[in-house]
Amino acid sequence: MSRALEGVMLAIAVVFAACVYARPSFAGDGADATSSRQLFIDQRRLPEDAGNANQPPPPPGNGDEARKAEEQRKLDELAAKLKAQEEELATREAAARKKLEELKRLSAEEEVKRKEDEEQLRAREAEAQKQVEEAKRLADEARSKLQEDLKNQLERKANSDSSSPAVSPAIGNSTEKNADAPAQLEPRATLTVPAIALTCPDATVAVEPLPGGRSKIAVHSPCRHGQGVNMQYGPLVIGRTFDDKGDAEFIADMFLGPDAKTGVSLADGQQQRLQLVTGDLDEVTKVAVIWDAPVDLNLHAFEYAAMQGEPGDVWSGAPRDAAVASELVTKDGRGHGFMSSVSDGKAAGPKAEVFTFWHGKQPSRGVIAMALDYETRGTNPNGDTCGSGRYAQVPIEVIVRETSGAVTRQNGLIASVPCGQTLSSEARYQTGIVPDIRIHNAH
């Protein structure tokens, strides 16, 4: 644009200069030149009334030279103006060019920064992907190992007992006798909650399902070794201490289902709510007895008319872990269960005993008779546990969770007995307080 303006101005200047220096032809040479000049002059003088009113009259006498001088003076002025304008245009153009270069420079810098950010983002994604793949790899490894173990056990089983019915992979077998054995379930039960970082930078909580409608909660916090950590499930609070490696484990027996209020809390007050995960909760019936008094109660489950002390008498003294119960179900097709306990009655706070019953796959009938033993009171009650003693009566709550998910809760009270009188077996192992489990698939 500046060049165009410059060109126009230059053209005007050329034309103007041509007209001025052709003035001698105005002085009398040729009629065309004269008339042109005169036309030009006349044109210049046309707005005589308006434009020329203030112009000084030409000096008298030497008129042509004065006129030429005047014209030259004006021409010089015009040239000077043109030059000034040209310089200004050049300056503006230079400024514009400079600005453009600045913009280009800034743009280039931003591009560099954007590329850097993009690279960083890609790096973070790659890192996260690596972590996910690592977790999957570990999970796949664990799954393969469990399936291999299961396969080996099936083979051993098939070789030793050819009449055994097919194993339900959902229950599985375990060579470990520990009730806290890792999950031996189908892939549908391998959900693992990602690590939740608590305020202590390296504290993580992992939840995984265990057979028999339970969840394992593993808390890892090396910076808290030796400190206490609590896990709450419904009304129960269980305490542990972080070991030297900063590990603490809990098992939540889900007699209230997976959605009961659950969480962990640290010694420094930090808390974290948890969502429990379940694998086979819809295959079991759970019967729980909850009490608060500092006494020991034992829930007994007598399977299929078993008598006290026999293998079918399942209680905290002979709890029969989940793996053994599962194996029994596989072996005879009938339902069997195991017992879990929270507290031995000495600690403060709510306590629980939970009987988990796996229903068999094959049609069967029967009743699992439930009885409650006031262990602390024993057969010869005395002191606080009888008469009008502080713990002569013990309030309890009985919670039953069916395979359908329905939960019934009932309040009960263990009645007082006179002190000093030996209790009969029926009085010691009380039936009727906790409902029996009736198996209805055989009528």
Partner 1 sequence: MPGRDNAARILACTIVGICACTANAFSGEVTLRAKNGDFEIKGELTAYDQNKYTILSTSLGAMSLDASRFDCIGSNCPTDAVAMRTEAAPPDVPAGPTSISISGSNTIGNQLMPSLIDAYAGSTSKTLTKVVSPDGLDVEFRMSGKDGKDEGVIALHRHGSATAFADMEKKVSQIGMASRRVKDDEVQKLAAIGLGDVRRPGSEHILGLDGLLVLVSPQNPVVSLPMDTIAKIFSGEITDWSQVGQPAGKIDVYAPTKESGTFDTFESLVLKPHKFELTPNAKRTANHAEQSDWVAHDRNGIGFAGIAYQRNAKALNIVSTCGLIAPPSTFSIKTEEYPISRRLFLYTGGEPRDPVARGLLEFALSHDAQRIVKQSDFIDQVPETASYESQTSRIAFGLNAAPLNFDENLMNAFTTDIRSAQRLSVTFRFQSGSYELDNKALADAKRLVELLKTDAYKDKSVLLAGFADTKGTFSVNRSLSLHRAQAVLAVMKANGLSHRQAKLAVKGYSELAPVSCNDTEEGMQLNRRVEVWIN
Residue 302 or 338: which CB sits closer to partner 1? 302
Residue 209 or 381: which CB sits closer to partner 1? 381
Closest residue by Cα to residue 362 from 283, 279, 282, 441? 441
Q: Of the candidates 167, 369, 392, 437, which one interacts with partner 1 according to CB under 8 A?
A: 369
Question: Strand pairing of 313-314 and 262-266?
Answer: unpaired
Residue 20 or 427: which CB sits closer to partner 1? 427
Interface segment toward partner 1; rule CB under 8 A; list 90-98, 167-175, 345-353, 366-374: 366-374
- Check binding of 275 to partner 1 (CB under 8 A): no
Closest residue by Cα to residue 71 from 19, 146, 10, 128? 19
- Check binding of 404 to partner 1 (CB under 8 A): no
Q: Of the candidates 242, 343, 430, 437, which one interacts with partner 1 according to CB under 8 A?
A: 430
Q: Which of residues 276-315 bind partner 1 (CB under 8 A)?
A: 302, 304-307
Beta strands in 267-333 (DSSP E): 271-273, 284-291, 297-303, 313-314
Closest CB 285 distance from partner 1, rounded Å: 15
- Check binding of 365 to partner 1 (CB under 8 A): yes
Find the length of the chain: 443
Each as own residue / partner, the long-range contacts of residues 89-92 (CB below 8 Å, 24 or more positions apart, any chain) are: 89/2, 89/5, 89/6, 90/2, 92/2
Helix, strand, coil % (nearest 5) of the chain?
A: 40, 25, 40
- Check binding of 432 to partner 1 (CB under 8 A): yes
Contact by Cβ (8 Å): 416, 393: yes
Tell me the chain's radius of gyration from C-alpha atoms: 50
Q: Of the candidates 10, 14, 94, 413, which one interacts with partner 1 according to CB under 8 A?
A: 413
3-state class of 351 per DSSP?
strand
Q: Of the candidates 169, 258, 366, 387, which one interacts with partner 1 according to CB under 8 A?
A: 366
Closest CB 369 distance from partner 1, rounded Å: 6
CA 223-229-230 angle, to 5 degrees, is 160
Q: Of the candidates 72, 107, 410, 422, which one interacts with partner 1 according to CB under 8 A?
A: 410
Binding site for partner 1 (CB under 8 A): 302, 304-307, 365-367, 369, 395, 410-413, 415, 417, 423-424, 426-427, 430-433, 436, 438, 443
